[in-house]
Amino acid sequence: MYPHERSLVEDLKEQPFVLLGVNSDDSPDIVKRAMRDNRLTWRSWFDAGGTNGPIATAWGIKHWPTLFIIDADGVIRHKDLTGPAIDRAVKKLLEEIEQ
């Protein structure tokens, strides 16, 4: 998943697009190491406790990864898309912003 996320962030760096991550590893140090080793350039929060952490609990996360695509008004438009479906959904939202 990381290669796709990296390319999405790079391809859309001039667009009104933000990728945010939540990580549920056992410690903040593991998160920092994963971000460094996988060249993750987007902001990611540590949410200890797997799907029992405070962020996962607040958002109703039952499994990792869980992906939300949120529009410019803060409305969740898609959940758990993968691969090319992510790109299509983001492209459609960016087109909506332009109109």
For 85-97, how does the pLDDT look when each residue is reduced to its tens digit (9 = 90+)? 999 999 999 999 9
DSSP secondary structure letter of residue 42: S
Q: What pLDDT digit, counting tens, does each position of 12-50 carry?
A: 999 999 999 999 988 999 999 999 999 999 999 999 878
Q: Which residue has the tokens 């929060």?
A: 45
Residue 10's alpha-carbon distances to 14, 41, 56, 92, in angstroms, are 9, 9, 27, 18
Q: Which residue has the tokens 């799907």?
A: 51
SS3 (DSSP) at 54: helix
pTM: 0.83
Q: Mind listing the domains of the chain with CATH numbers?
A: 2-98 (3.40.30.10)
CA 78 to chain centre: 12
Contact (Cβ atoms closer than 8 angstroms) between residue 32 and residue 69: no
